[in-house]
Structure 1
Amino acid sequence: MREAIAAELLAARARTAALTDCVEDADLTAQHSPLMSPLVWDLAHIGNQEELWLLRNVGGRDPMHPEIDPLYDAFQHPRAERPALPLLPPDEARGYAHEVRGRVLDLLAASPLEGAPLLDAGFAFGMIAQHEQQHDETMLITHQLRRGEPALAAPPPPPAPADAATLPAEVLIPAGPFTMGTDTEPWALDNERPAHTVDLPAYFLDTTPVTNAAYQRFIADGGYDDPRWWTKEGWDHRLRAELSAPLFWKQQDGQWLRRRFGTVEPVPPNEPVLHVSWYEADAYARWAGRRLPTEAEWEKAARHDPATGRSRRYPWGDGPPGPEQANLGQRHLRPAAAGSYPEGRSPYGARQLMGDVWEWTASDFHPYPGFRAWPYKEYSEVFFGPEYKVLRGGCFAVAPVACRGTFRNWDYPVRRQIFSGFRTARSAEES
């Protein structure tokens, strides 16, 4: 187990280095959008959280630099204010994170991995590995918002399989109960717990996420100009923000183009649509005569095995994600074509429920029955409420360690800079 934990920590740090070593110091200290922190803040925050939870809480060590704790407390300073803070410069931030990591690896070698809640199955180490990978995803979002020459490169995803064009538009999820959440996933975070039974009526779910081509039909049909398809709040936001297409899209000479990590390119028609807000996803679903799935509907489609009645860790089973099953881990810098990864399909036949794009659901972010905040209430509890909508499934930027069938993400319904898409659903009784 120690070797596996060390491997996750080292993989996260290698990705952090790749995201921060590819640009000059001026890019690290600049704020590329008021929605995001400077990259150098994320770099030192990663080290600070690792020191706080592993060296201090697990190891009982004294603080290394207590004077910087307030600078890297995400709740003390909104992102827009962070550039004005006396942050560690890039070399010092790297040195601090490197020193913390060296001490953490020594601690891992000596710590029992049982006997206390934070140590059982190496939970605290797993939590920190997930935390760093989540900030790596955040830094990748900053790279997408960054202007200038491309700084990142990756090969394209594999082409769509031969059957992608002939897949059924939707799959049926029969009525019945399933187990939502988990009591057994060792590194599951508090909002994924506890496991509980949810009984759902039958419904249909899109086989794949909604594509760029389908979304362009919504635009061409005047979807952004017709208030019938929008909630009142969504329509008000559309007008204020002057939304007319997904973020990073523009139309030129009758063709839709997008900016992707510094490169302008035609919008690929068969890729899942990306960088849309919850309001846009909801409006599209209404225009299509459908709706967004609830969070429970999404999870049942992704995890429930009707042959055994149990809930799997992933759509394909309990084994960890491989490159043949899902587009994860920044292996590619874009979603794969709709219908890809047949080996990752769920028992019901839905594809790409893991990876490619975060999928908006209809649900607000609320605790499960019996929820208990742990190990700190700021991870989930302070965000519960109708202000946030739940996203599921991960995206191409999510690392496998931070992606599983029970993992819950949440954000404001206006958010578009995140790697968000969606699929739609309808109730079976509508047939």
Structure 2
Amino acid sequence: MGLSILVNIGLLFTFKYLSFFTSSISQIFNYFGLAPDHGMNAGSYSVSDLILPIGISFYTFQTLSYSIDVYRGTIVPEKHLGRFALFVAFFPQLVAGPIERAGRLLPQFKERIIANPESIKKGLILIAWGFFLKVVVADRLGVYVDGAHSDPELYHGLPLLISTFFFPLQLYYDFSAYTAIAIGVAHTMGYNLMHNFNKPLFATSSASFWNRWHISFMLWLKDYLYKPMGGYIVKKPILIRNVLIIFFIVGLWHGANWTFVIWGLLSAFLLIVEAATSRIRRKVFSRLGIAKGIVNVGGWIITMSYLMFSLVFFRSPSIEHALLYLENMFLITNLHINILGNYFELGLCFLLILSVQWVHFIKGNNRIHEFVINKPLLKRWTLYTSYIIIIVLFAINRQHTFIYFQF
């Protein structure tokens, strides 16, 4: 197990974090005047030239979980190299998850698969829904977000606020689109992948959000890091330390940049504040007689607002960029809101957001097929045809990869 952890983390560190750490150390040396006269730039190589393999964070964690589960005795070792290779490199979820467990996926590879028309139909509907979320909704929001972040000195006030509102939605639709496609492709072949989202944008607290967002990743951290560090039965100082460590890793896992680390620690801060004040808040709300529904609405507003503002660091290429963006966001000099000059596109963005959120509220992320699959034949094919027309008319025609491919 030790060798497996060393090799997996070593490869991940080399490709994803070596350049980040060497440049950070170099900056520290420069600050104290300890930099050598001839640095790496004068050498025969550059660490930054290493090409990051797509999805390395995902399959690294997946193979680590296998080694740890075998070591713990949770699963028996897989002696068939082909099945193990298929588990590591199962193409639907290889590059952006969900992060599957060997105990869940390997047994499926041992079963005989018989073509199931209902499973194929369900899979195709999920694939189609994923394409809609990606090319019609997420990429459309991305055009506005990219424009606002391209030059935060150029814009002030409302355009930046709208972009801050759009980006969490773009991130969610983009990532859940890939997950829907991955799960759908697996369904067409007779395999079941775990669902990665459970209506996260309806969460009424930070803890609830992280239980609903990127579920496979958060469960991985809980099972293989958080519980071994003490889990939930610990004193408050240790609990705070553990949450900070976990979300430092969450931030760094998303990218080798201090902006991701700051975003992770900001997320940890809200979780810690929620946990520290939970009893006091319950007593205050009880004495004031505030209805649970009002409390939940207030919790949702605070959680989503904090998420939007913290994700400015996630989206920004540097800390300076993020701070400038946040500073200019609150300088409302006029009521001009559309930086793209097309109010139809801006209105369409809001309409699509409302439509998708309504669908997710009614059916969630994993029951989209129920809107279609049980309809009479004529209605079903009318929906299929309408859907194809919408994709053709409203898809954003630009080469834009899934955001989580870079992680």
The TM-score, its normalising length taken from structure 2, stands at 0.23
Higher relative contact order (CA 8 A, sep 6+): 2
Structure with more of its chain in strand, by fraction: 1
User: Quick check: which has more Rg, 1 or 2?
Assistant: 2
The TM-score, its normalising length taken from structure 1, stands at 0.23
